[in-house]
Amino acid sequence: MTGDAMRDLEQWIPKLLAVWRQQRRGGRGGGGKHGRPSRHEPRAPQTQLTHDELKEVGAGVKALSHGLTRERALAGARYMDDPRLLGAYLLFYWPVSYAQARATLSELPSRPRATLDLGSGPGPLAFAALDAGASGVVAADRSKSALELAKALAMEAGEPLSTRDWAPERPLPEGRFDLITLGHVLNELYAGDLNRRAVLVEKLLERVNKGGTLLILEPALRETSRALLQVRDVLVSHGVAVRAPCLWRGACPALVRPSDWCHAEREWRLPPMVEAIGRAAGLRKETLKMSYLALAPRGEAWAEPPEGQVFRIVSEPLEGKGRQRFMGCGPSGRVGLAMQERHETERNRLFFKLQRGDVVRVTQPEERGDGLALADASTVAIVAHAGRPVPLR
Ligand SMILES: C[S@@+](CC[C@H](N)C(=O)[O-])C[C@H]1O[C@@H](n2cnc3c(N)ncnc32)[C@H](O)[C@@H]1O
């Protein structure tokens, strides 16, 4: 995640807290369960939760985490209409989704302008798009309470955001868009029916302007990531081009073995408030992990991949005795890439510093078992760092 995006996120923290405290007091003036803070109470800190607040939010995040990741009982349920869970979402998952969106929007070839954020919740992707240069965003969701929070945030930040009531069986907000986002919502739709998800995505692609993008973010869990890859395969078989992360144009090779999946991971600096909530909820978010897919509108061809033997790194470093190994996925498919430490030279030592998501060019690899081995004569160059656009040919 870039330094600019990190600074933008840090500026959102006091706004999220202010809006959450307002909602918790029962609106603008107070009178809710927690009432207006009395003149004698100390002022709550602007970028951190008080002890009691932390306990409350931590419990909400724990419940959300169980419901959305482990048992998944909340997936597709109306958890955003429970003020306690919505508040927990706002203070913990909002910053995470915002950071994930910034870390993937930065990979697109052009800045978004008109944007539609579907299944927006309180709008982390909507505001990420605005901060990344969008001229205006429509945030759409079926949860009125979540949209109310998005509006309150827009007021607090002076951002141009409008909201719409939306559910997949209802008409889409009117107009065409340069960017449509679906953040952690596709996995909640149609009770797992992947074909219906693919039909929705194709319908959305018809609303994307030439040169624009449909960006889908999903949790990096095996189940949700594989479901996204299966939707990808349906779309690719219908001629849809993937902008990112795929360089491979065929059926996804990560689906061949049921234990495999493909996801992204990016470094970030956890805002202290989010870190404290994570600790209270027993969760760690040291890196950003997500699955994503950026799709081009109908009629646009796949971009020509950079010249040479090019791969996106799609695994963490798989260290072995005296050697480094990664999985790479490129125009020729998904292969293991390995190098013995003893073959390290000035021209290939970048191999030992690669990160998941980087796009690399290698020369003179040798075929070894089911992968490629680099040797003294090989060179390794980074074509695009993770989260940066792959240069067009
Ligand atoms: C996990 S939240 C994601 C919020 C935000 N986009 C993000 O990335 O953090 C899922 C959102 O999808 C919305 N959602 C789930 N099912 C929906 C449906 N059938 N129609 C409309 N919205 C739905 C929920 O209300 C919720 O706001």
Residues 218 and 360 in one domain: no
The span from the CA of 241 to the CA of 142, in Å, is 29
Q: Look-up: residue for tokens 């505001």?
A: 127
Residue 391 maps to a domain: no
Tell me the Ramachandran region of residue 72: left when phi exceeds 0, alpha when psi lies from -120 to 50, beta otherwise.
left
Q: What is the end-to-end Cα distance of the chain in Å, rounded?
A: 25
Give 161 Cα–ligand 1 centroid separation in angstroms. 17
Residues 340 and 223 in one domain: no
pLDDT at 32: 43
The span from the CA of 162 to the CA of 173, in Å, is 11
The span from the CA of 16 to the CA of 81, in Å, is 18
CATH number of the domain bearing residue 347: 2.40.50.140
What is the atom index within ligand 1 of the atom nearest the CA of 101? 8
Residue 392 maps to a domain: no
Residue 389 maps to a domain: no
Q: What is the CA radius of gyration of the chain?
A: 22
152-189: b (≥16 Cβ within 10 Å) or e: bbbeeeebebebbebebeeebbeeebbbbbbbbbbbbb
Residue 331 maps to a domain: yes
Residue 371, classed as helix, strand or coil, is: strand
The span from the CA of 59 to the CA of 20, in Å, is 15
Ligand 1 interacting residues, C-beta cut-off 6 A: 76, 80, 93, 97, 119-121, 124-125, 141-143, 146, 166-168, 183-185, 188-189
Query: Which of 271, 295, 319 is the last residue before a domain boundary?
Result: 295
Give 142 Cα–ligand 1 centroid separation in angstroms. 8
Give 115 Cα–ligand 1 centroid separation in angstroms. 17
Closest CA to 357 of 220, 180, 222: 220
> Amino acid identity of 90?
L
Residues 179 and 156 in one domain: yes
Residues 280 and 341 in one domain: no
Residues 259 and 351 in one domain: no
Residue 112 maps to a domain: yes
Minimum CA distance residue for ligand 1 atom 20: 167
57-67 pLDDT tens trace: 999 999 999 88
Residues 281 and 345 in one domain: no
Minimum CA distance residue for ligand 1 atom 19: 167
Residues 67 and 18 in one domain: yes
> Which structure tokens are listed for 340?
């013995």
Residues 12 and 127 in one domain: yes
95-106 pLDDT tens trace: 999 999 999 999
In this structure, the chain runs to a length of 393
Structural domain span for residue 348 = 309-384
* Burial (CB count <10 Å: 0-12, 13-18, 19+), residue 257: exposed
Residues 278 and 326 in one domain: no
> Which structure tokens are listed for 337?
């890439």
Residue 193 maps to a domain: yes
* Eight-class DSSP state of 184: S
CATH number of the domain bearing residue 210: 3.40.50.150
Residues 263 and 327 in one domain: no
Residues 64 and 98 in one domain: yes
Minimum CA distance residue for ligand 1 atom 1: 184
User: Mind spelling out the 3-state secondary structure of 38-80?
Assistant: CCCCCCCCCCCCCHHHHHHHHHHHHHHHHHHHHCCCCCCCCHH
Which phi and psi angles does 346 have, rounded to 5°? -55, -35
Query: Which of 295, 318, 353 is the last residue before a domain boundary?
Result: 295
pLDDT at 28: 47
The count of structural domains within the chain is 2
pLDDT at 189: 95
The span from the CA of 69 to the CA of 127, in Å, is 24
Residue 301 maps to a domain: no
Q: Give the pLDDT of the chain (393 residues) as one tens digit per residue.
A: 888 999 999 999 999 999 999 988 876 444 444 545 555 556 777 899 999 999 999 999 999 998 887 777 777 788 888 999 999 999 999 999 999 999 999 999 888 899 999 999 999 999 999 999 999 999 999 999 999 999 999 999 999 899 999 999 999 999 999 999 999 999 999 988 999 999 999 999 999 999 999 999 999 999 999 999 999 999 999 999 999 999 999 999 999 999 999 999 999 999 999 999 999 999 988 899 999 999 999 999 999 999 999 999 999 999 888 999 999 999 999 999 999 999 999 999 999 999 999 999 999 999 988 799 999 999 999 999 999 999 977
What is the atom index within ligand 1 of the atom nearest the CA of 121? 27
Residues 379 and 261 in one domain: no
Query: Which of 262, 295, 328 is the last residue before a domain boundary?
Result: 295
